[in-house]
Amino acid sequence: MPGLLSLSAAACILHHLPQTTRTERTRIMTDTPSVDNTQDPLQKPEGEHPFWQDLNPDFLKGENYGDQGPHPEKTAHTAYDVKDLHDRLSAINDEDLKKIPVMPAGSRLEQGATYIDMRQSHPQEFTATGNMSATENNWYVPKSSVPYWIWNVLIGVENPERVDQAGGRG
């Protein structure tokens, strides 16, 4: 392309300009602004406006950052540990009850993920929004952490093929 110099041509030209410093030569050759990759993206920006917190009271609320954040369902109590839920699901054996995590109170639900609230008499699937979190009044079970056939039992599916009874289970 006309008007563009190769890197070696630019280096030759800059080499013959003794009045420039090495830093200036590097800046001219790269001609890219410096980027600070050390800043945590979850922190508020530097030089914030004095009213920034008033204008953004729920900074990053509802944002999901994949595997960066904690996953409470990985270490949560299970249906086996929650006595009332254990009693209610008496048709499911203890080994399988241990595969049903119950979100701890105060944990945020993953935006877009599917859950059921086992405290309801007839649990229905719902998709969580970014502002939802578990409370003491809920027994939220995440669909992504439960084997499909157990999930089907939890939501009331009675078709043997869908609850893995056709293959000898149950």
In this prediction, residue 67 carries a pLDDT of: 40
pLDDT in tens, 11-27: 555 555 555 556 665 55
In this prediction, residue 66 carries a pLDDT of: 42
The domain ranges of the chain are 7-32, 77-154
Dump the DSSP string for 17-40: -TTS-HHHHHHHHH------TTS-
- For the chain, report the end-to-end CA distance as a whole number of angstroms: 71
- Say which DSSP state 110 is in: P
pLDDT in tens, 26-80: 555 555 555 555 555 555 556 666 777 777 777 777 665 544 456 777 778 999 9
Q: Is it the case that residue 4 has pLDDT exceeding 80?
A: no
- Strand, helix or coil at 105? coil
pLDDT in tens, 83-131: 999 999 998 999 999 999 999 988 889 899 999 999 998 899 999 998 8
Instruction: State if pTM tops 0.95.
Output: no
Distance CA 118, CA 114 (A): 13
